[in-house]
Structures are given as structure tokens and as C-alpha cells.
Amino acid sequence: MAMLGISSNGPGEAPIAGIIGNSPAMQQVYRVTRRVAPSNASVLILGETGVGKELIAGAVHRLSHRSGGPFVRVNCGALSESLLESELFGHVRGAFTGAVANRAGRFEAAQGGTIFLDEINSTTLTLQVKLLRVLQEKEFERVGDTSTFNTDVRIIAASNRDLMNEVREERFREDLYWRLNVVPIEIPPLRRRREDVPALVSFFLEHYNEINDRYVAHIAPGTLDALQSYHWPGNVRELQNYIERAVVMSETDELTLDLLPLCVTNNDVPVGTEKPTGDMNELTREVVMKGLSEADVDEGGVHRLVVDRVEKELIAQVLSACAGVQTKAAAMLGINRNTLHKKIKDYGLDETDNESP
């Protein structure tokens, strides 16, 4: 859903159309986005799930000389390796079972424009080699074909994980990392730009009033304070969800505290996202066991450890609540099923899936 920009009320970088926020953290995002957009440089967008990475990718495309060309989105975490390779590069008839005709891939569809590779960290090492060739040589072959296609496509990639850490763990190729990370854009989580919450709330209220034929036009005292005090682990996407729910459930024209989840009104962690139960000594022992150095700590190694631990506990609890049905659990978590399956494997959780045949 597109977000209309708001005017700048003072000095600083003006917001980009389609993106809401005038906080200092977002102004830095706008500066980098405007600076890199006119170039042909590859861009790596980093940020937690739900911060709006696709919106920034779209802005880079719109502000570039390729804006008249296509903007093609690919969620790399949504498909298996074989299907993703075919999706990206296309295939010829007979390349695999079910390939009944030649089919162009997303790189061909994006010719002259921009391709956005979301969840680039989900790609396998084998596929990363082929992506590296596209970046370096500007060419590729369809699956099952020997003919080479030349490509004129700008690549924007995004990840919600620390790719350098993925490189250290040998899950991501270092050469591909440096080819993608020419210009990084880090989108701050909502908890680091709380001053943008009122504008976001106003936008979502207007949007969901319109599509639901409602008129929740007023905000009760204390409601914005509660929303700005909450830590937003699910970022803008979580806020959007709560405002939509409030509009649908409201029986008056006012957004009140009782329409918001208890986790917001109590300024607590949402159900299923409890903080790690261990104390600092336990975390310290885990850091030592993992062999994190001082450099790792400086580069966010401890933060990554804590985030992974919280995510693992959240996934385990949601899976339990959904009786192991991964499709349902993925929907509750706001991610696709293949991404969930990969995380279950990475964290060594029970992979039993009770999905009905």
C-alpha cells in the first residue's frame, strides 16, 4: 500500500513522495536515496521486517533515469532454489518437469528498468554464483538453455539480516556481498523514529476509513502517547495492522485506547514475542560459547544473538499455537511459508508440519 509523503515543516531533507516520516533518521534515508538514485550503482537496503524496504526500493527506481522502465519485484524467500532460478532467469521447454513452453524470467521482464530482490539472504550459494555473473558480466542463460542473454537491469537487493554476518557464517558469498553493497541504505526501525508515529496513524486512519466506509476521525487523549511509547517489534507493518483493526472494530468516530492491543496500552511485549528469559549472565555465557570477539560486539554480534534468540522463541510459540501448521503460522508472523520453513531449519526447531494434504 502506497504511503503519501508529508511536507517538511522545517529545515532538513524533505520526505519522498510515497513515504511518510520527517524524523532525523528518515531524513538521512531520504538524503542517501536521492543521492544514489540517479546513478547506476547497486543498492543494498537493510532493515528489520516491516520497516518498508520495498517503498525505498520503489523510490530509488522512480527517482532514477530508469523510471520509464519496469520495476520488477521478486521475493527470494518465497520460492525454492529451482523455482527461483526459473523465476529470475526463465526456462526453455523441457528444462524440467512441467516446463511445457519457453518462459521469460524476471530479468528479461525488467530490461531497461530495475529489479528488486527482497530477502536476498534467502538465496542459496549456487544461485548466488549466477546472480554474481549478472552483476559482473550483465548476462545469463535461461534454465535448460545455452543461449546467452544480455541484460540492462539495475539491481536493488534487500535483507532483514546482517549480510556480513551471513558471510562470516559462510551462508552468503563475500564477492556477491561487495557487488550488492555499493551503496547501503539502512531503514531505521519504528522505535528509532517515534516522532513519525502520529503521521503514520493519520495516514492509516484515512486509508482504512475509506476502504471500510468508516469515519474514525478523532484520536482520544492518551492514545497517541501509548502508540509512541510502544517499542514496535513489528515496525510500521504492526502499526498498520493495529490501526486497521481499530477502524473495523470502532463503534464511534474516535480512536480510543480500548481499541488497541494490551501490548500497546500496557507498553509491553506482544503475546508470543516475550523477551529472552535468561539473565545477563546466561547471555554472556552464550556469547562466550559462540566465540564472539570484541570486533563482533562492535559490529552488532551481541545484538544479532539476542534478536535471533527472540525470533526463535517467537516462532516456536506461534508454531505451537498453530498446532505445527506452517502456513497458518507464517500468516500470523507476517512472512511467507518458505521463509518460515528456512527459519525453522536454521534454528533447529521441530520441522513437523501438520498441513493437510
Q: Which residue has the cell 481499530?
A: 246
254 neighbors 220 (Cβ within 8 angstroms):
yes
Backbone φ and ψ for 230, nearest 5 degrees, come out as -70, 150
Per-residue pLDDT tens listing for the chain (357 residues): 544 333 333 456 788 998 999 999 999 999 999 999 999 999 999 999 999 999 999 999 999 999 999 999 999 998 888 889 889 998 887 777 777 788 889 999 999 999 999 999 999 999 999 999 999 999 998 888 888 999 999 999 999 999 999 999 999 999 999 999 999 999 999 999 999 999 999 999 999 999 999 999 999 999 999 999 999 999 999 999 999 999 999 999 999 999 999 999 887 654 444 444 444 344 444 444 455 554 454 445 555 566 677 778 788 877 877 778 888 777 777 677 778 888 888 888 865 555 543
**Shortest CA distance to 3 belongs to which of 255, 273, 206, 221?**
206
254, three cell numbers: 474516535
- Go through the domains of the chain in sequence order and give each one's CATH number: 24-188 (3.40.50.300), 191-265 (1.10.8.60), 280-346 (1.10.10.60)
How much is the pLDDT for 14?
83
How much is the pLDDT for 306?
63
68 neighbors 51 (Cβ within 8 angstroms):
no
CB atoms within 10 A of CB 329: 23
| DSSP notation for 198-218 | HHHHHHHHHHHHHHHT----E
> 7 Cβ partners below 8 Å, 6+ apart?
14, 15
The whole-angstrom separation of Cα 288 and Cα 282 is: 10
159 neighbors 44 (Cβ within 8 angstroms):
yes
**Shortest CA distance to 64 belongs to which of 158, 185, 154?**
154
**Shortest CA distance to 153 belongs to which of 42, 32, 44, 59?**
42
327 neighbors 344 (Cβ within 8 angstroms):
no
Query: Facing residues of 114 across strands?
Result: 71, 154
Query: Facing residues of 43 across strands?
Result: 156, 183
Report which secondary-structure segment, H or E, holds 45.
Answer: strand 43-46
| C-beta contacts of 176-180 below 8 A and 24+ residues apart | 176/128, 176/131, 176/132, 176/135, 179/42, 179/132, 179/135, 179/136, 180/42, 180/44, 180/120, 180/135, 180/155
Q: Which residue has the cell 535448460?
A: 144
> 195 Cβ partners below 8 Å, 6+ apart?
22, 23, 228
The whole-angstrom separation of Cα 162 and Cα 180 is: 13
292, three cell numbers: 564472539
Q: Could you tell me the sign of the dihedral formed by the alpha carbons of 228, 231, 236, 242, in that order?
A: negative
Query: Facing residues of 23 across strands?
Result: none
How much is the pLDDT for 328?
77
